[in-house]
Structure 1
Amino acid sequence: MPPLDTRYQAALQLSVVGDSLGFKNGDWSNCSSGLQIFDELEKLGGVNNLNIKLPEWTVSSYTLLRLHTACILTCEQYQKVTGELIIRAAQQCKSSANCWDMKDRNPDQTFMAAREKLNPINVRGSCVPFDPNGISSAAAVRGMCIGLRHPNPAELHDLIKVSIDFGRIFTQQDTLALWLLHYLHHMHYRRYLSDNGGMD
Protein backbone atom coordinates (compact mmCIF):
# COMPACT_ATOMS: atom_id res chain seq x y z
CA MET A 1 0.00 0.00 0.00
CA PRO A 2 1.35 3.49 -0.84
CA PRO A 3 2.33 5.71 2.10
CA LEU A 4 -0.25 7.97 3.75
CA ASP A 5 0.98 11.17 2.08
CA THR A 6 0.67 9.63 -1.39
CA ARG A 7 -2.86 8.39 -0.76
CA TYR A 8 -3.79 11.70 0.85
CA GLN A 9 -2.57 13.66 -2.16
CA ALA A 10 -4.44 11.37 -4.58
CA ALA A 11 -7.71 11.77 -2.65
CA LEU A 12 -7.40 15.56 -2.70
CA GLN A 13 -6.62 15.60 -6.42
CA LEU A 14 -9.74 13.58 -7.14
CA SER A 15 -11.83 15.92 -4.99
CA VAL A 16 -10.44 18.94 -6.86
CA VAL A 17 -11.39 17.46 -10.23
CA GLY A 18 -14.88 16.64 -8.99
CA ASP A 19 -15.32 20.12 -7.55
CA SER A 20 -14.14 21.77 -10.77
CA LEU A 21 -16.74 19.77 -12.68
CA GLY A 22 -19.54 20.62 -10.29
CA PHE A 23 -18.55 24.28 -9.96
CA LYS A 24 -18.06 24.95 -13.70
CA ASN A 25 -16.63 28.42 -13.11
CA GLY A 26 -19.64 29.21 -10.94
CA ASP A 27 -22.26 28.34 -13.57
CA TRP A 28 -23.50 25.21 -11.82
CA SER A 29 -22.71 25.95 -8.18
CA ASN A 30 -26.01 27.72 -7.55
CA CYS A 31 -28.10 25.87 -10.12
CA SER A 32 -30.91 23.96 -8.38
CA SER A 33 -31.95 22.00 -11.48
CA GLY A 34 -30.16 18.72 -11.95
CA LEU A 35 -31.84 18.25 -15.31
CA GLN A 36 -30.48 21.56 -16.56
CA ILE A 37 -26.96 20.64 -15.47
CA PHE A 38 -27.28 17.21 -17.06
CA ASP A 39 -28.51 18.71 -20.35
CA GLU A 40 -25.65 21.22 -20.43
CA LEU A 41 -23.20 18.46 -19.61
CA GLU A 42 -24.48 16.36 -22.50
CA LYS A 43 -24.08 19.34 -24.85
CA LEU A 44 -20.43 19.49 -23.79
CA GLY A 45 -19.98 15.90 -24.95
CA GLY A 46 -20.70 14.07 -21.70
CA VAL A 47 -18.50 13.59 -18.68
CA ASN A 48 -16.23 11.05 -20.39
CA ASN A 49 -15.22 13.58 -23.03
CA LEU A 50 -14.42 16.49 -20.73
CA ASN A 51 -10.90 17.74 -20.15
CA ILE A 52 -10.95 19.30 -16.68
CA LYS A 53 -8.17 21.89 -16.64
CA LEU A 54 -7.55 25.62 -16.27
CA PRO A 55 -8.69 28.13 -17.28
CA GLU A 56 -11.98 26.64 -18.45
CA TRP A 57 -12.54 24.73 -15.22
CA THR A 58 -11.64 26.41 -11.92
CA VAL A 59 -12.29 25.25 -8.37
CA SER A 60 -14.70 26.80 -5.90
CA SER A 61 -13.85 28.82 -2.80
CA TYR A 62 -14.61 25.79 -0.64
CA THR A 63 -12.02 23.65 -2.40
CA LEU A 64 -9.47 26.41 -1.86
CA LEU A 65 -10.23 26.24 1.85
CA ARG A 66 -9.89 22.46 1.76
CA LEU A 67 -6.50 22.69 0.02
CA HIS A 68 -5.41 25.41 2.43
CA THR A 69 -6.20 23.18 5.39
CA ALA A 70 -4.46 20.22 3.75
CA CYS A 71 -1.32 22.34 3.27
CA ILE A 72 -1.30 23.23 6.95
CA LEU A 73 -1.64 19.56 7.92
CA THR A 74 1.12 18.39 5.57
CA CYS A 75 3.61 21.22 5.06
CA GLU A 76 3.90 22.10 8.74
CA GLN A 77 5.62 19.88 11.27
CA TYR A 78 2.20 18.69 12.35
CA GLN A 79 1.95 16.01 14.99
CA LYS A 80 -0.36 17.50 17.59
CA VAL A 81 -2.77 20.43 17.50
CA THR A 82 -1.15 23.36 19.29
CA GLY A 83 -2.00 27.01 19.75
CA GLU A 84 0.84 27.90 17.43
CA LEU A 85 -0.60 25.70 14.67
CA ILE A 86 -4.05 27.31 15.04
CA ILE A 87 -2.58 30.81 14.87
CA ARG A 88 -0.57 29.91 11.77
CA ALA A 89 -3.62 28.40 10.10
CA ALA A 90 -5.71 31.51 10.81
CA GLN A 91 -2.92 33.78 9.57
CA GLN A 92 -2.75 31.90 6.29
CA CYS A 93 -6.53 31.91 5.94
CA LYS A 94 -6.59 35.66 6.34
CA SER A 95 -3.58 36.45 4.14
CA SER A 96 -3.97 33.92 1.36
CA ALA A 97 -7.65 34.37 0.50
CA ASN A 98 -6.93 37.42 -1.65
CA CYS A 99 -3.99 35.73 -3.36
CA TRP A 100 -6.29 32.89 -4.36
CA ASP A 101 -8.93 35.21 -5.87
CA MET A 102 -11.45 34.02 -3.32
CA LYS A 103 -13.93 36.79 -4.12
CA ASP A 104 -14.18 35.63 -7.74
CA ARG A 105 -15.26 32.13 -6.69
CA ASN A 106 -18.65 32.97 -5.12
CA PRO A 107 -17.79 32.52 -1.42
CA ASP A 108 -20.70 32.92 0.98
CA GLN A 109 -21.01 36.22 2.77
CA THR A 110 -20.80 34.64 6.21
CA PHE A 111 -17.37 33.29 5.36
CA MET A 112 -16.15 36.65 4.05
CA ALA A 113 -17.43 38.45 7.15
CA ALA A 114 -15.78 35.90 9.43
CA ARG A 115 -12.49 36.26 7.60
CA GLU A 116 -12.53 40.01 8.23
CA LYS A 117 -13.03 39.39 11.96
CA LEU A 118 -9.94 37.20 12.26
CA ASN A 119 -7.10 38.84 14.18
CA PRO A 120 -4.63 35.96 14.47
CA ILE A 121 -2.05 37.52 16.76
CA ASN A 122 -2.97 34.90 19.37
CA VAL A 123 -5.27 31.89 19.75
CA ARG A 124 -8.21 34.02 20.90
CA GLY A 125 -7.96 36.22 17.81
CA SER A 126 -7.79 33.13 15.59
CA CYS A 127 -11.39 32.18 16.37
CA VAL A 128 -14.33 34.23 15.12
CA PRO A 129 -17.05 35.36 17.57
CA PHE A 130 -20.28 33.40 17.85
CA ASP A 131 -22.91 34.50 15.35
CA PRO A 132 -26.42 33.05 15.91
CA ASN A 133 -27.40 34.03 12.37
CA GLY A 134 -24.28 32.71 10.65
CA ILE A 135 -24.89 30.24 7.81
CA SER A 136 -21.82 28.85 6.08
CA SER A 137 -20.27 25.60 4.93
CA ALA A 138 -16.73 26.99 5.15
CA ALA A 139 -15.84 24.85 8.16
CA ALA A 140 -17.62 21.64 7.20
CA VAL A 141 -16.13 21.45 3.70
CA ARG A 142 -12.70 21.08 5.28
CA GLY A 143 -13.76 17.93 7.07
CA MET A 144 -12.55 15.64 4.30
CA CYS A 145 -8.90 16.68 4.43
CA ILE A 146 -8.91 16.56 8.24
CA GLY A 147 -10.64 13.20 8.55
CA LEU A 148 -8.41 11.55 5.95
CA ARG A 149 -5.35 12.79 7.83
CA HIS A 150 -6.29 10.76 10.93
CA PRO A 151 -7.40 7.31 9.70
CA ASN A 152 -6.34 5.28 12.73
CA PRO A 153 -8.65 4.63 15.71
CA ALA A 154 -5.75 5.48 18.04
CA GLU A 155 -5.83 9.03 16.62
CA LEU A 156 -9.47 9.65 17.50
CA HIS A 157 -8.62 12.09 20.30
CA ASP A 158 -6.42 14.14 17.96
CA LEU A 159 -9.14 14.02 15.31
CA ILE A 160 -11.72 15.49 17.69
CA LYS A 161 -9.33 18.17 18.87
CA VAL A 162 -8.28 19.29 15.40
CA SER A 163 -11.92 19.35 14.25
CA ILE A 164 -12.91 21.64 17.12
CA ASP A 165 -9.91 23.96 16.88
CA PHE A 166 -9.84 24.24 13.10
CA GLY A 167 -13.61 24.56 12.98
CA ARG A 168 -13.57 27.57 15.28
CA ILE A 169 -11.42 29.52 12.83
CA PHE A 170 -14.42 30.05 10.57
CA THR A 171 -17.39 28.48 12.32
CA GLN A 172 -19.67 30.94 14.11
CA GLN A 173 -22.43 28.46 14.98
CA ASP A 174 -22.41 25.44 17.29
CA THR A 175 -24.56 23.49 14.83
CA LEU A 176 -22.10 24.10 12.02
CA ALA A 177 -19.23 23.00 14.25
CA LEU A 178 -21.06 19.73 14.91
CA TRP A 179 -21.54 19.33 11.16
CA LEU A 180 -17.77 19.55 10.69
CA LEU A 181 -17.20 17.03 13.48
CA HIS A 182 -19.72 14.60 12.00
CA TYR A 183 -18.35 14.87 8.46
CA LEU A 184 -14.69 14.39 9.31
CA HIS A 185 -15.54 11.41 11.54
CA HIS A 186 -17.31 9.93 8.53
CA MET A 187 -14.17 10.40 6.43
CA HIS A 188 -12.00 9.05 9.25
CA TYR A 189 -13.94 5.76 9.39
CA ARG A 190 -14.19 5.45 5.62
CA ARG A 191 -10.41 5.81 5.43
CA TYR A 192 -9.89 3.28 8.21
CA LEU A 193 -12.22 0.74 6.56
CA SER A 194 -10.58 1.29 3.19
CA ASP A 195 -7.09 0.79 4.60
CA ASN A 196 -8.19 -2.42 6.32
CA GLY A 197 -10.07 -4.03 3.45
CA GLY A 198 -13.53 -3.19 4.74
CA MET A 199 -14.65 -1.26 1.66
CA ASP A 200 -14.62 -2.01 -2.06
Structure 2
Amino acid sequence: MNRRSATLEHYKAGMLLSGVGDALGYRNQLWEYNESGPVIHQELKELGGLKNIKAELPDWPVSDDTVLHLATAEGLATGKTGEELLHEVAARYVEGMKDMDGRKPGPSSMLGVSQLKPGEEGGYRVAYNPEGTGCGAAMRSMCIGLRYPKPDQLLSLVAVAVETGRMTHPHPTGFLGAVASALFTAYAIQRRPITTWGLGLLSEACPIAKNFVQGRGYAVEETERDWGYFCDKWQCPAERDEAYKSFSLSGWAGRSGHDAPMIALDALLGAGSDWEELMSRAGFHGGDSDSTAVIAACCWGLLYGTQGVPEGNYSNLEYRDRLERSAEQLYALSH
Protein backbone atom coordinates (compact mmCIF):
# COMPACT_ATOMS: atom_id res chain seq x y z
CA MET A 1 0.00 0.00 0.00
CA ASN A 2 1.06 3.55 -0.61
CA ARG A 3 2.30 4.59 2.83
CA ARG A 4 2.51 8.28 2.04
CA SER A 5 -0.13 10.35 3.75
CA ALA A 6 -3.27 11.23 1.83
CA THR A 7 -2.73 14.13 -0.58
CA LEU A 8 -5.26 16.46 -2.19
CA GLU A 9 -5.32 14.04 -5.14
CA HIS A 10 -6.28 11.20 -2.78
CA TYR A 11 -9.10 13.34 -1.37
CA LYS A 12 -10.39 14.09 -4.85
CA ALA A 13 -10.14 10.43 -5.81
CA GLY A 14 -12.02 9.41 -2.69
CA MET A 15 -14.97 11.68 -3.38
CA LEU A 16 -14.99 11.02 -7.13
CA LEU A 17 -14.74 7.25 -6.85
CA SER A 18 -17.48 7.18 -4.22
CA GLY A 19 -19.74 8.54 -6.96
CA VAL A 20 -18.33 6.04 -9.45
CA GLY A 21 -18.97 3.12 -7.09
CA ASP A 22 -22.51 4.39 -6.65
CA ALA A 23 -23.21 4.80 -10.38
CA LEU A 24 -21.73 1.41 -11.25
CA GLY A 25 -23.43 -0.48 -8.43
CA TYR A 26 -26.74 1.22 -9.20
CA ARG A 27 -26.70 0.86 -12.99
CA ASN A 28 -29.74 3.08 -13.29
CA GLN A 29 -31.79 0.88 -10.92
CA LEU A 30 -30.98 -2.35 -12.79
CA TRP A 31 -28.30 -3.69 -10.45
CA GLU A 32 -29.25 -2.20 -7.09
CA TYR A 33 -32.43 -4.27 -7.19
CA ASN A 34 -30.96 -7.43 -8.71
CA GLU A 35 -30.57 -10.00 -5.96
CA SER A 36 -28.33 -12.36 -7.95
CA GLY A 37 -24.60 -11.66 -7.95
CA PRO A 38 -23.94 -14.22 -10.73
CA VAL A 39 -26.50 -12.55 -13.03
CA ILE A 40 -24.88 -9.14 -12.45
CA HIS A 41 -21.44 -10.57 -13.23
CA GLN A 42 -22.79 -12.14 -16.43
CA GLU A 43 -24.32 -8.83 -17.52
CA LEU A 44 -21.06 -7.06 -16.71
CA LYS A 45 -19.24 -9.54 -18.95
CA GLU A 46 -21.71 -8.88 -21.77
CA LEU A 47 -20.96 -5.16 -21.46
CA GLY A 48 -17.29 -5.96 -22.06
CA GLY A 49 -16.21 -5.78 -18.42
CA LEU A 50 -15.52 -2.85 -16.14
CA LYS A 51 -12.85 -1.32 -18.38
CA ASN A 52 -15.44 -0.95 -21.11
CA ILE A 53 -17.97 0.99 -19.02
CA LYS A 54 -18.29 4.72 -19.50
CA ALA A 55 -20.10 5.80 -16.34
CA GLU A 56 -21.96 8.81 -17.68
CA LEU A 57 -25.49 10.02 -18.30
CA PRO A 58 -28.02 8.86 -19.33
CA ASP A 59 -27.25 5.19 -18.65
CA TRP A 60 -25.17 5.51 -15.47
CA PRO A 61 -26.59 8.24 -13.22
CA VAL A 62 -25.58 8.51 -9.59
CA SER A 63 -28.27 7.46 -7.12
CA ASP A 64 -29.68 9.06 -3.98
CA ASP A 65 -26.47 7.91 -2.24
CA THR A 66 -24.28 10.46 -4.03
CA VAL A 67 -26.86 13.25 -3.96
CA LEU A 68 -27.05 12.97 -0.16
CA HIS A 69 -23.29 12.39 0.23
CA LEU A 70 -22.77 15.66 -1.65
CA ALA A 71 -25.30 17.35 0.64
CA THR A 72 -23.25 16.25 3.65
CA ALA A 73 -19.93 17.16 2.02
CA GLU A 74 -21.03 20.58 0.78
CA GLY A 75 -22.53 21.32 4.21
CA LEU A 76 -19.24 20.45 5.89
CA ALA A 77 -17.33 22.44 3.28
CA THR A 78 -18.93 25.66 4.52
CA GLY A 79 -16.68 25.37 7.57
CA LYS A 80 -19.61 25.74 9.96
CA THR A 81 -19.55 23.79 13.22
CA GLY A 82 -21.89 22.81 16.04
CA GLU A 83 -25.60 23.54 15.75
CA GLU A 84 -25.00 25.84 12.80
CA LEU A 85 -23.48 22.96 10.85
CA LEU A 86 -26.37 20.64 11.69
CA HIS A 87 -28.94 23.14 10.42
CA GLU A 88 -26.83 23.63 7.29
CA VAL A 89 -26.68 19.90 6.56
CA ALA A 90 -30.38 19.45 7.32
CA ALA A 91 -31.22 22.22 4.84
CA ARG A 92 -29.08 20.52 2.20
CA TYR A 93 -30.83 17.19 2.77
CA VAL A 94 -34.16 18.93 2.22
CA GLU A 95 -32.78 20.49 -0.96
CA GLY A 96 -31.25 17.17 -2.08
CA MET A 97 -34.64 15.47 -1.93
CA LYS A 98 -35.71 17.67 -4.86
CA ASP A 99 -33.07 15.91 -6.99
CA MET A 100 -34.38 12.34 -6.63
CA ASP A 101 -36.02 11.71 -9.99
CA GLY A 102 -34.97 8.18 -10.97
CA ARG A 103 -32.59 7.88 -8.02
CA LYS A 104 -34.67 5.74 -5.63
CA PRO A 105 -34.19 7.20 -2.13
CA GLY A 106 -35.01 4.84 0.73
CA PRO A 107 -38.13 5.07 2.90
CA SER A 108 -36.29 6.17 6.09
CA SER A 109 -34.43 8.90 4.21
CA MET A 110 -37.65 10.26 2.72
CA LEU A 111 -39.51 10.07 6.04
CA GLY A 112 -36.66 11.65 8.01
CA VAL A 113 -36.07 14.53 5.60
CA SER A 114 -39.81 15.26 5.48
CA GLN A 115 -39.65 15.89 9.26
CA LEU A 116 -36.61 18.19 9.22
CA LYS A 117 -37.17 21.89 9.95
CA PRO A 118 -33.77 23.50 9.44
CA GLY A 119 -33.42 26.89 11.06
CA GLU A 120 -35.99 26.16 13.76
CA GLU A 121 -34.95 25.31 17.31
CA GLY A 122 -33.96 21.61 17.30
CA GLY A 123 -35.20 21.38 13.71
CA TYR A 124 -32.42 18.98 12.70
CA ARG A 125 -33.92 16.32 15.00
CA VAL A 126 -36.59 13.81 14.04
CA ALA A 127 -38.71 11.43 16.12
CA TYR A 128 -37.15 8.10 17.08
CA ASN A 129 -37.95 5.52 14.40
CA PRO A 130 -37.59 1.82 15.29
CA GLU A 131 -37.51 1.14 11.53
CA GLY A 132 -34.66 3.59 10.89
CA THR A 133 -32.09 0.82 10.53
CA GLY A 134 -31.24 1.22 6.83
CA CYS A 135 -27.97 2.20 5.21
CA GLY A 136 -29.10 5.71 4.24
CA ALA A 137 -26.95 7.36 6.90
CA ALA A 138 -23.92 5.16 6.21
CA MET A 139 -23.89 5.84 2.47
CA ARG A 140 -23.64 9.63 2.83
CA SER A 141 -21.17 10.00 5.71
CA MET A 142 -17.76 9.11 4.25
CA CYS A 143 -16.95 12.80 3.76
CA ILE A 144 -17.14 13.37 7.53
CA GLY A 145 -13.86 11.46 7.83
CA LEU A 146 -12.34 13.80 5.23
CA ARG A 147 -13.32 16.78 7.36
CA TYR A 148 -12.10 15.26 10.67
CA PRO A 149 -9.31 12.88 9.63
CA LYS A 150 -6.96 13.14 12.59
CA PRO A 151 -6.99 10.79 15.59
CA ASP A 152 -7.49 13.75 17.94
CA GLN A 153 -10.63 14.76 16.00
CA LEU A 154 -12.44 11.50 16.74
CA LEU A 155 -14.93 13.15 19.07
CA SER A 156 -15.92 15.68 16.38
CA LEU A 157 -16.15 12.94 13.76
CA VAL A 158 -18.44 10.82 15.93
CA ALA A 159 -20.59 13.78 17.01
CA VAL A 160 -21.22 14.94 13.45
CA ALA A 161 -21.80 11.39 12.17
CA VAL A 162 -24.31 10.64 14.94
CA GLU A 163 -26.24 13.89 14.61
CA THR A 164 -26.36 13.99 10.80
CA GLY A 165 -27.03 10.24 10.72
CA ARG A 166 -30.01 10.47 12.99
CA MET A 167 -31.62 13.20 10.89
CA THR A 168 -33.07 10.29 8.92
CA HIS A 169 -31.92 7.14 10.74
CA PRO A 170 -32.40 7.77 14.47
CA HIS A 171 -32.03 4.05 15.28
CA PRO A 172 -28.49 3.06 16.34
CA THR A 173 -28.28 0.35 13.64
CA GLY A 174 -28.79 3.24 11.19
CA PHE A 175 -26.70 6.05 12.63
CA LEU A 176 -23.80 3.87 13.79
CA GLY A 177 -23.45 3.02 10.10
CA ALA A 178 -22.68 6.71 9.58
CA VAL A 179 -20.05 6.52 12.32
CA ALA A 180 -18.50 3.48 10.61
CA SER A 181 -18.31 5.12 7.16
CA ALA A 182 -16.83 8.33 8.55
CA LEU A 183 -14.36 6.44 10.72
CA PHE A 184 -13.15 4.22 7.88
CA THR A 185 -12.33 7.16 5.61
CA ALA A 186 -10.45 8.82 8.48
CA TYR A 187 -8.54 5.57 9.00
CA ALA A 188 -7.77 5.43 5.27
CA ILE A 189 -6.36 8.96 5.43
CA GLN A 190 -4.33 7.98 8.52
CA ARG A 191 -3.03 4.93 6.60
CA ARG A 192 -4.12 2.72 9.45
CA PRO A 193 -3.98 -1.01 8.51
CA ILE A 194 -7.39 -2.10 7.20
CA THR A 195 -7.30 -5.20 9.42
CA THR A 196 -7.63 -2.92 12.49
CA TRP A 197 -10.59 -0.84 11.30
CA GLY A 198 -13.37 -3.06 12.65
CA LEU A 199 -11.77 -3.26 16.06
CA GLY A 200 -11.31 0.52 16.11
CA LEU A 201 -15.00 0.96 15.36
CA LEU A 202 -16.06 -1.30 18.23
CA SER A 203 -13.49 -0.35 20.85
CA GLU A 204 -12.96 3.37 20.09
CA ALA A 205 -15.81 4.93 18.17
CA CYS A 206 -18.92 3.08 19.42
CA PRO A 207 -18.28 3.84 23.11
CA ILE A 208 -17.74 7.52 22.23
CA ALA A 209 -21.00 7.47 20.27
CA LYS A 210 -22.87 5.97 23.23
CA ASN A 211 -21.52 8.60 25.62
CA PHE A 212 -22.34 11.32 23.12
CA VAL A 213 -25.97 10.16 22.79
CA GLN A 214 -26.33 10.05 26.57
CA GLY A 215 -24.81 13.52 26.87
CA ARG A 216 -27.17 15.00 24.28
CA GLY A 217 -30.16 13.63 26.18
CA TYR A 218 -32.28 12.97 23.09
CA ALA A 219 -34.08 9.59 22.64
CA VAL A 220 -31.59 8.06 25.08
CA GLU A 221 -33.83 5.29 26.38
CA GLU A 222 -34.89 3.99 22.96
CA THR A 223 -31.35 4.25 21.62
CA GLU A 224 -29.89 2.28 24.52
CA ARG A 225 -32.62 -0.34 24.19
CA ASP A 226 -31.74 -0.93 20.52
CA TRP A 227 -27.98 -0.42 20.81
CA GLY A 228 -26.79 -4.02 20.96
CA TYR A 229 -27.61 -5.26 17.46
CA PHE A 230 -25.01 -3.20 15.60
CA CYS A 231 -22.09 -4.13 17.87
CA ASP A 232 -23.15 -7.78 18.11
CA LYS A 233 -23.20 -8.10 14.32
CA TRP A 234 -19.76 -6.51 14.07
CA GLN A 235 -18.39 -9.14 16.44
CA CYS A 236 -19.19 -11.81 13.81
CA PRO A 237 -16.29 -12.72 11.51
CA ALA A 238 -16.47 -11.29 8.17
CA GLU A 239 -19.45 -18.10 -0.73
CA ARG A 240 -19.73 -14.01 -0.91
CA ASP A 241 -23.49 -13.56 -1.58
CA GLU A 242 -24.30 -16.08 1.16
CA ALA A 243 -21.90 -14.57 3.70
CA TYR A 244 -23.19 -11.08 2.97
CA LYS A 245 -26.78 -12.26 3.30
CA SER A 246 -25.95 -13.75 6.70
CA PHE A 247 -24.75 -10.32 7.91
CA SER A 248 -27.96 -8.68 6.85
CA LEU A 249 -31.07 -7.63 8.72
CA SER A 250 -33.69 -8.45 6.09
CA GLY A 251 -31.82 -10.84 3.77
CA TRP A 252 -31.02 -7.91 1.44
CA ALA A 253 -27.28 -7.59 1.80
CA GLY A 254 -25.95 -4.08 2.36
CA ARG A 255 -29.37 -2.66 3.02
CA SER A 256 -28.77 -1.84 6.68
CA GLY A 257 -26.56 0.52 8.62
CA HIS A 258 -24.42 -2.26 10.05
CA ASP A 259 -23.83 -4.42 6.98
CA ALA A 260 -23.20 -1.83 4.25
CA PRO A 261 -19.92 -0.72 5.92
CA MET A 262 -19.20 -4.37 6.78
CA ILE A 263 -19.36 -5.47 3.15
CA ALA A 264 -17.33 -2.41 2.13
CA LEU A 265 -14.63 -3.32 4.65
CA ASP A 266 -14.63 -6.95 3.53
CA ALA A 267 -14.20 -5.80 -0.08
CA LEU A 268 -11.30 -3.49 0.83
CA LEU A 269 -9.58 -6.33 2.69
CA GLY A 270 -10.04 -8.72 -0.20
CA ALA A 271 -9.22 -6.42 -3.09
CA GLY A 272 -6.04 -4.65 -2.00
CA SER A 273 -5.11 -2.12 -4.67
CA ASP A 274 -7.08 -3.88 -7.45
CA TRP A 275 -9.99 -1.65 -8.55
CA GLU A 276 -11.72 -4.36 -10.58
CA GLU A 277 -11.61 -6.74 -7.65
CA LEU A 278 -12.94 -4.04 -5.32
CA MET A 279 -15.91 -3.38 -7.56
CA SER A 280 -16.47 -7.09 -8.06
CA ARG A 281 -16.78 -7.52 -4.31
CA ALA A 282 -18.41 -4.26 -3.27
CA GLY A 283 -20.43 -3.24 -6.31
CA PHE A 284 -21.54 -6.32 -8.17
CA HIS A 285 -23.25 -8.56 -5.62
CA GLY A 286 -26.88 -9.52 -5.14
CA GLY A 287 -27.70 -6.80 -2.64
CA ASP A 288 -27.77 -3.04 -2.12
CA SER A 289 -24.71 -2.84 -4.33
CA ASP A 290 -24.51 0.92 -4.85
CA SER A 291 -24.56 1.60 -1.10
CA THR A 292 -21.75 -0.86 -0.37
CA ALA A 293 -19.72 0.37 -3.34
CA VAL A 294 -20.13 4.07 -2.49
CA ILE A 295 -18.44 3.44 0.88
CA ALA A 296 -15.76 1.03 -0.33
CA ALA A 297 -14.79 3.12 -3.34
CA CYS A 298 -14.41 6.28 -1.26
CA CYS A 299 -11.98 4.52 1.09
CA TRP A 300 -10.17 2.92 -1.86
CA GLY A 301 -9.67 6.29 -3.59
CA LEU A 302 -8.24 7.77 -0.39
CA LEU A 303 -5.76 4.89 -0.24
CA TYR A 304 -4.79 4.46 -3.89
CA GLY A 305 -5.97 7.49 -5.87
CA THR A 306 -7.33 6.75 -9.35
CA GLN A 307 -4.39 4.55 -10.31
CA GLY A 308 -5.62 1.51 -12.23
CA VAL A 309 -9.16 2.85 -12.60
CA PRO A 310 -10.30 2.91 -16.26
CA GLU A 311 -10.70 6.55 -17.24
CA GLY A 312 -14.15 5.88 -18.69
CA ASN A 313 -15.34 4.86 -15.24
CA TYR A 314 -14.95 8.43 -13.95
CA SER A 315 -14.09 11.00 -16.63
CA ASN A 316 -17.68 12.07 -17.37
CA LEU A 317 -19.37 11.02 -14.15
CA GLU A 318 -22.47 12.98 -13.23
CA TYR A 319 -21.60 15.64 -10.59
CA ARG A 320 -17.86 15.01 -10.98
CA ASP A 321 -17.16 18.74 -10.57
CA ARG A 322 -19.13 19.00 -7.34
CA LEU A 323 -17.49 15.88 -5.91
CA GLU A 324 -13.98 17.13 -6.66
CA ARG A 325 -14.70 20.68 -5.50
CA SER A 326 -16.06 19.48 -2.16
CA ALA A 327 -12.96 17.28 -1.80
CA GLU A 328 -10.72 20.32 -2.31
CA GLN A 329 -12.68 22.33 0.28
CA LEU A 330 -12.63 19.49 2.83
CA TYR A 331 -8.90 18.99 2.27
CA ALA A 332 -8.27 22.69 2.94
CA LEU A 333 -10.43 22.64 6.09
CA SER A 334 -8.79 19.48 7.41
CA HIS A 335 -5.32 20.98 7.03
TM-score range for the pair, normalised by the shorter chain length: 0.7 to 0.9
Unaligned runs of 5+ in 1: none
Write the distance in 1 (CA, Å) between the matches of 2:177 and 2:6: 29
Give the equivalent residue in structure 2 for 1:93.
93
State yes or no: 1:82 paired with 2:85: no
Q: Deviations over 1:57-86 (max 9, x none)?
A: 101111211111111122x134xx311111
What CA deviation, in whole Å up to 9, does each residue of 1:120-146 have, x standing for no partner? 133511111101123321111123111
Counterpart contact for 2:6–2:189, Cα < 8 Å: no
- The whole-number CA distance in structure 1 between the counterparts of 2:149 and 2:132 is 31
1:103 and 1:131 mapped to 2: Cα distance?
Answer: 25
C-alpha deviation, 1:118, in angstroms? 1.1
Contact 1:160/1:181 (CA < 8 Å) preserved in 2?
A: yes
Q: Structure 1 186/97 Cα, relative in aligned 2: closer, same or farther at 3 Å?
A: same
**TM superposition shift of 1:167:** 1.5
Name the CA shift for 1:4/1:120 in 2 (closer, same or farther; >3 Å). Answer: farther
AA paired with 1:87?
H
Corresponding residue for residue 17 of structure 1:
20
- Given candidates 131, 134, 137, the residue that maps to 1:133 is 131
Q: Deviations over 1:144-170 (max 9, x none)?
A: 111232221121121122112211222
TM-score normalised by L of structure 2: 0.53
Matched, 1:161 2:159: yes
| TM-score when normalising by structure 1 | 0.86
Distance 2:85 2:139 in 1: 19
Is 183-192 or 82-91 further displaced after alignment? 183-192
Q: CA deviation at 1:183?
A: 2.8
The letter for the 1-side match of 2:170 is Q
CA contact (8 A) 1:140 1:179 kept: yes
Shift of 1:4: 5.4
Give distance in 2, aligned partners of 1:171 and 1:134.
4
CA contact (8 A) 1:86 1:165 kept: yes
Q: Determine which of 28, 32, 41 is the counterpart of 1:29.
A: 32
Q: Which has the higher contact order (CA 8 A, sep 6+)?
A: 2
What is the root-mean-square deviation in Å for CA atoms of aligned residues?
Answer: 2.4
Paired residues, number = 193
Distance 2:187 2:16 in 1: 20
For residues 173 and 37 of structure 2, the distance between their equivalents in structure 1, rounded to whole angstroms, comes to 28
CA distance in 2, matches of 1:71, 1:2: 23
CA separation of 1:175 and 1:3: change in aligned 2, threshold 3 A:
closer
- Provide runs of 4+ in structure 1 moved above 6 Å: none
Please tell me the residue identity of whatever aligns with 1:178: L
The answer to whether structure 1 residue 72 and structure 2 residue 70 are counterparts is no
Relative to structure 1, the CA distance from residue 153 to residue 2 in structure 2 (aligned partners, 3 Å threshold; closer, same or farther) is closer
Any unmatched runs of 5+ in structure 2?
Answer: 193-302, 305-335
Question: Counterpart of 1:26 in 2: which secondary structure?
Answer: coil
